[in-house]
Structure 1
């Protein structure tokens, strides 16, 4: 039996909420070129992403809302960091377009699935009441890897200006080439990740009362 409401005030969900809140702060720090502060907060978001998932599995604190806001926090972090890094010229524009375009399409899909799966009455207040479970998201395998690759790439781009000052000037071209190659790889996995949601039959499960 699917409960009409579920407990959303769990430790994993609270950690996820701190990640949601920290995302715009990280973007602001990137725009202000606060390299180590932005990297530190980004590292916090990455670590808590692992911790909240571990706690949810270990102590049976999984929830429908957690399955939604956890990838939402990941995507918000990636979208904000990608946009800010592109604005300051730290990330190639083509890669920013791929990442933001893919996440934009997934966001529209999430809005659609939330609406069609929400039990009646379909009111505005109930739509945004995430304690009412309606659909559950199951990230595809390539999507999980892509999230990791994006986090590593974005973290590297955040600290690259500081990294370059610490290495031999002769090594800088190699570092730049490495970032370019890894960026192209991230772009490819991002495209494959988006396609995996289109062709997977198990990525979204609509929950219905029985």
Structure 2
């Protein structure tokens, strides 16, 4: 309870003073020297003061109770407002929580949708790439002519290439009789594959136009190297022949690369079923090949029939060198030694 008002405090002090005086008067009632009416008058006055003080106290108490009641009423109102605000805050929290959960769900959903779209686009891109690859392959197939390479002349050419290392081995072992027999067999296969290719058109292939001279060059180079090792053929002549053949083979690979349409890959480059060019040896080159084979055969027979270093062999050396140079120049001068195979 707060401090008393100034007026009320003054009344209370006067009341307590009156009561104190009343107690003193009562103590003197038995005194014969005081008059009774004065005493009674003082008692009545003090009694009235006491009643007024009591009323003021009661009034103050009533006002205090009213203030307390008002405070309690305001407190109840505040509690009601706080309770309502708590409910609003709780509802707002629930709404925010639901909104956050919805946002998370929407994010995951959008992520899944984006992932599915990416997968679909990836599948479409892969499909487009495969379709484009297929179309390119079809166009390449239209440009490049495929042919059957499994023919008898081609097998005979491969046989000559395969037997060349063994023929060189027999020469190094100085088994000239067997080497001479193998050389005759190789020459026979060379004549036979040409005759078959000319006789039956189904056996003539553009692959054979490249494979036949390749087999001849491998056979001739192998024989010249092995015979030079045995000192039956001059080193200078062998170097001339091998150098020319290496240049011609390299030119063949260049022609293959230039005639191959893009994309140029190793698998397509070495795919012999894809014919992109056709070689046509010159007449001088054919004559040179015949001279070279004659020199090799004569040299193989020299140890067998004992005419090593015969002047005829030396004349063949010169003739072979001249024909080799002439054949090499013919490939440079002539424009019909090869042609590209294009779409028909």
Shared fold (TM-score, shorter chain, > 0.5): yes
3-state SS of paired residue (2:278): strand
2:196 aligned with 1:55: yes
Aligned equivalent of 1:143, options 263, 274, 285: 285
2:171 and 2:226 in contact (8 A); partners too: yes
Residues of 2 paired with 1:9 and 1:79: CA distance?
Answer: 26
Unaligned 5+ runs, structure 1: 165-171
Residues of 1 paired with 2:257 and 2:229: CA distance?
Answer: 33
Cα displacement string for residues 130-155 of structure 1 (whole angstroms, at most 9, x for unaligned residues) = 11101111010000011001001011
1:128 aligns with 270
Map of 1:33-182 to 2, 5 A cutoff? 33-60=174-201, 61-164=203-306, 172=307, 176-182=310-316
For residue 3 of structure 1, report the CA deviation from its aligned partner: 5.4
3-state SS of paired residue (1:91): coil
TM-score (structure 1 length as normaliser): 0.92
3-state SS of paired residue (1:136): strand
3-state SS of paired residue (1:33): coil
1:185 aligns with 319
For residue 4 of structure 1, report the CA deviation from its aligned partner: 3.3
Unaligned 5+ runs, structure 2: 1-141
For residue 2 of structure 1, report the CA deviation from its aligned partner: 6.5
For residue 121 of structure 1, report the CA deviation from its aligned partner: 2.1
For residue 177 of structure 1, report the CA deviation from its aligned partner: 1.0
Cα displacement string for residues 18-49 of structure 1 (whole angstroms, at most 9, x for unaligned residues) = 11111111111111111011111111110110
3-state SS of paired residue (1:82): helix
2:144 and 2:341 in contact (8 A); partners too: no
Structure with the bigger percentage of helix: 2
TM-score (structure 2 length as normaliser): 0.57
Alignment length (residue pairs): 202
Residues of 1 paired with 2:262 and 2:147: CA distance?
Answer: 17
Q: Does 52-61 or 115-124 show the bigger shift? A: 115-124
2:259 and 2:340 in contact (8 A); partners too: yes
2:144 and 2:276 in contact (8 A); partners too: no
2:167 aligned with 1:26: yes
Q: Does 13-22 or 73-82 show the bigger shift? A: 13-22
For residue 109 of structure 1, report the CA deviation from its aligned partner: 0.6
Structure with larger Rg: 2
Cα displacement string for residues 54-85 of structure 1 (whole angstroms, at most 9, x for unaligned residues) = 11110112101100100000000011111111
Aligned equivalent of 2:153, options 12, 35, 39: 12
Structure with the larger RCO, 1 or 2 (CA within 8 Å, 6+ apart): 1
For residue 112 of structure 1, report the CA deviation from its aligned partner: 0.7
Tell me: CA distance 1:2–1:36, structure 2 relative to 1, closer, same or farther (3 Å). farther
